[in-house]
C-alpha cells in the first residue's frame, strides 16, 4: 500500500512525539544526575568540614577522617 499524505503526516507526528519523549527523558535524567552530584558534593563538604549545623554530630563523627585527609580542624 502506498503511503497517503495522511499516513506520512501521521508518521511525522509520531516521530515528533517520540523525539519529545526522548528529549524529555534525557532532561529528567540530567536533572537526576545533577541532583545526585549536588547531594554527593554537599555530603563531602559536610564530612570534610564537619558542619554540625547541617548534620548534627558530623563534626565529631568525621573528625578523624577529616584530619587524615588534611582538612583544617581544631
Partner 1 sequence: MPLAPRKPLTDFFLRGAWVGILWGWATLGINALTGAFVTEHPLASNLVMFGAGGLLTGMFVAGLMGLLGERRVYGSLWLTALALSAGTWLALRLAGVALTFSDPRRYHPDGPQSAQGLALALGLGVMLAAATRFFPPCKRY
What does the binding site for partner 1 look like in residue numbers (CB under 8 A)?
Answer: 19, 22-23, 25-26, 29, 33, 36-37, 40-41, 43-45, 47-49, 61-65, 67-74
CB of 72 to partner 1, least distance (A): 4
CB of 5 to partner 1, least distance (A): 25
Give the integer Cα–Cα distance in Å for 65 and 47.
Answer: 8
The angle at the Cα of 34, spanning 33 to 35, to the nearest 5 degrees, equals 90
Are 50 and 62 a contacting pair, CB within 8 Å? yes
CB of 31 to partner 1, least distance (A): 14
Amino acid at each position: 500500500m502506498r503511503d497517503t499524505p495522511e499516513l506520512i503526516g501521521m508518521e511525522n507526528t509520531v516521530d515528533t512525539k517520540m523525539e519529545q519523549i526522548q528529549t524529555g527523558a534525557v532532561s529528567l535524567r540530567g536533572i537526576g544526575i545533577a541532583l545526585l552530584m549536588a547531594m554527593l558534593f554537599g555530603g563531602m563538604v559536610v564530612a570534610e568540614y564537619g558542619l554540625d549545623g547541617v548534620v548534627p554530630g558530623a563534626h565529631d563523627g568525621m573528625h578523624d577522617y577529616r584530619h587524615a585527609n588534611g582538612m583544617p580542624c581544631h
